[in-house]
Structures are given as C-alpha cells and as structure tokens.
C-alpha cells in the first residue's frame, strides 16, 4: 500500500515554496524488502536526496535552514552524508550559519516535554530571529523519529499536524515532516499524511500519476528511467476516458520532461492516432519542447511559470548526470538542459 497515493497536494520537493507544510514518508517498514514485488514504490529511499534538495533550494532563496535529523545520528554522520551533494552551497551555508543542525530536544529546551503550543512558540521565536538576521524565510526539515525519543504519542502528533496551519499563513516558514516507515504503522502514516496540505514524493527521480475522470496529472520526473510509468499512465488515462469526452493531461507537476516522454505525448495528441480528444496543460518551457517535436499548438494550454520552480533547479542536483548513493555523479555545471532527441 502506498501512503498518500491519492493526496491531491502531492508534489516533488523541488516544487515546494515558502509557506508549504509537507509530509514525507521514506524508508522501508520493518521486516520488508524493497526488492520484493509487494514493496511500496519508493520504499527503498532513505530521504537524503529529498533533504539535500530541500536544503539547496532554501539556501538559494536566501532562507535560514534548520535540519532536525533522526535522533540516532551524530552531527558528524549527518554532515558527512550531506557533503556528498555537489557544489559549494551546502558547505558555505554551514560555515555562515545559514544552515544549522539541531534537535527537537534542543528546540524545546533541555528537560522540556513536548506540547504543540511549546513547539509552535519556539518555531515563532526562530522565525523572528531569522527575520531580524535578514533572511528571506525559515525552513525546517524535521525527522519525526524524535517522537519516540521524547515519548510523544501518535494522537499528539496528529493533533499538532492538524492545528499547525497558523505557522504558515504569512508564507515565511515552511516545513517537511519526515516519517520513516519503520517507526509508524501504515494506517497511522495515512492519517498523518492527510493532516498535511502537501505530500512529497519519497525520493527524486520518481514519477507519480493521479487519475481522475477526464484528467491525468503527472508529478515528478518524466525521463528515460520513468518512461514506462509515463506510458502506462497515458494508456490508463486514454482507456478510462468515456467516448466523446476530453482527456486533459496536466504536466505542471513535472520538474523534468525528457524528449522520449514528450514524443510519446505528442503521438497521443495526434488526431490521426485515434486516441480521442487530448489536451495538455503545461509550462511554457515544456510547451516549447512539445512544439519542437510537432505537437499541435491548439491542443496545448500554456500556463505562466509557477513560483514553485522560480529558484529551484529543473533537476536536483544541478548538473545532471547519473545518480550514485542518492546523489548525481559529475561536476555541478549548472542547470541541466532539456533532453531533446530525434525520434
């Protein structure tokens, strides 16, 4: 079972923006093997790629970044893992104090018991300090392993998540609440996911499809690695559309559209292919690729650039390349150009 499978606020971490309160489910449950057929997609992810992208985007936006890692990890262990990300932004953020590691114990004050009100007050204090220091915002990555460490029950967590909206109303503060599958039953994770306005894909390089009558929404990265998922989603959407009705394919949730997947979509848009009435909603960036591959301009609705991706790299980390141990190998040479190949 996939946690948050139908969550309408699902997005990739690169599309988070200030004021978002997001749920992240990562890792594998106890006693499961992600290589087995019954494992949930993303069950083998360890969350480090999402964390690194979240940090990078915050630093690039000029925000203060707080990281509350799993309680069992020491600071040297966390820094060693984060330093695998390419580029100097994380290193300079650490040196300048823009990026800081902390813990829930430290945030609450040593010896203090968790209450939602106490935590909220401390977050407001941190946000106020970030404002005074001239930062554009404050963002926090909170690994929820702290709950067991502080003997905090599920009901207390659920209550906190459901009543936390006031922290985000001025869009200065954003937060990821990261839940490891081994620490919480699936049913509890589903409930906690529903308490968040946003639900993150569990790792980078994934593609998620949301199907509704007459609509297909695609989220994440549509490239060679996810092309099979992309094509299946198109087939499902087309086969599920009632005769004489239109299928709208929404690409605004994509952080990357590769040439191969774009070509598959252009083929579906061709009236001569007998696929029915298909329209596409996408950004100008992706529309340019579709038009270059021969898409009918009348079948594509181009939307303005979304603020979600205004300062985020098209793919994380910038520079592209193959992934190794959750990160892309190769030097950070800037944004990855669109992957356009001749069919």
SS3 304: coil
The H or E element spanning position 217 is strand 215-222
- The domain ranges of the chain are 10-200, 207-328
Backbone torsions φ then ψ of 66, nearest 5 degrees: -110, 135
Q: How many CB atoms lie within 10 A of CB 34?
A: 16
Spatial separation of the C-alpha atoms in residues 176 and 165, rounded to whole Å: 13
- CA distances (Å), 177 to each of 67, 87, 146, in order? 11, 26, 11
Lowest pLDDT segment from 172-176, 221-225, 299-303, 317-321: 317-321
- pLDDT tens digit string along 240-264? 877 778 899 999 999 999 999 999 9
Spatial separation of the C-alpha atoms in residues 162 and 75, rounded to whole Å: 30
What value does the mean pLDDT of the chain take? Answer: 85
On whether the CB atoms of residues 240 and 51 are closer than 8 A, the answer is: no
pTM assigned to the model: 0.85
Q: In terms of pLDDT, which residue wins out, 73 or 331? A: 73
- pLDDT tens digit string along 17-62? 999 999 999 997 655 444 443 334 444 458 899 999 999 999 999 9
On whether the CB atoms of residues 260 and 224 are closer than 8 A, the answer is: yes
- pLDDT tens digit string along 311-320? 444 455 554 4
* pLDDT at residue number 64: 98
List the CATH code of the domain at 207-328: 3.30.750.24
10-200 domain in CATH 1.10.3210.10? no
Q: Exposed/middle/buried for 290, CB within 10 Å: 0-12, 13-18, 19+?
A: buried
* pLDDT at residue number 306: 60
* pLDDT at residue number 52: 94
């Amino acid at each position: 079972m996939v946690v948050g499978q139908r969550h309408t606020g699902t997005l990739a971490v690169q599309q988070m923006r200030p004021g978002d309160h997001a749920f992240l489910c990562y890792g594998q449950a106890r006693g499961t093997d992600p290589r087995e057929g019954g494992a949930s997609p993303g069950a083998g992810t360890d969350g480090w790629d999402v964390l690194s992208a979240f940090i990078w985007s915050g630093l690039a936006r000029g925000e203060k970044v707080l990281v509350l890692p799993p309680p069992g990890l020491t600071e040297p262990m966390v820094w060693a893992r984060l330093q695998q990300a390419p580029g100097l932004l994380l290193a300079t953020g650490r040196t300048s104090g823009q990026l800081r590691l902390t813990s829930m114990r430290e945030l609450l004050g040593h010896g203090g018991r968790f209450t939602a009100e106490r935590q909220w007050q401390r977050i407001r204090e941190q946000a106020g300090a970030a404002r005074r220091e001239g930062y554009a915002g404050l963002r926090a990555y909170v690994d929820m392993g702290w709950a067991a460490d502080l003997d905090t029950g599920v009901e207390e967590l659920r209550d906190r998540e459901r009543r936390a909206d006031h922290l985000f109303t001025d869009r200065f503060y954003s937060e990821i609440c990261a839940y490891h599958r081994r620490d919480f039953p699936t049913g509890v994770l589903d409930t906690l996911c529903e308490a968040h306005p946003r639900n993150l894909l569990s790792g980078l390089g994934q593609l998620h499809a949301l199907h509704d009558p007459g609509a297909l929404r695609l989220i994440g990265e549509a490239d060679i690695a996810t092309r099979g998922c992309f094509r299946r989603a198109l087939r499902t959407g087309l086969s599920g559309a009632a005769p004489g009705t239109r299928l709208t394919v929404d690409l605004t949730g994509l952080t990357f559209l590769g040439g191969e997947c774009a070509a598959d979509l252009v083929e579906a848009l061709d009236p001569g292919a007998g696929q029915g009435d298909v329209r596409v909603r996408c950004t100008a960036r992706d529309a340019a690729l579709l038009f270059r591959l021969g898409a009918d301009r009348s079948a594509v609705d181009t939307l303005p650039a979304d603020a979600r991706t205004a300062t985020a790299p098209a793919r994380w980390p910038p520079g592209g390349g193959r992934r190794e141990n959750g990160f892309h190998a190769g030097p950070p040479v800037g944004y990855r150009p669109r992957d356009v190949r001749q069919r």
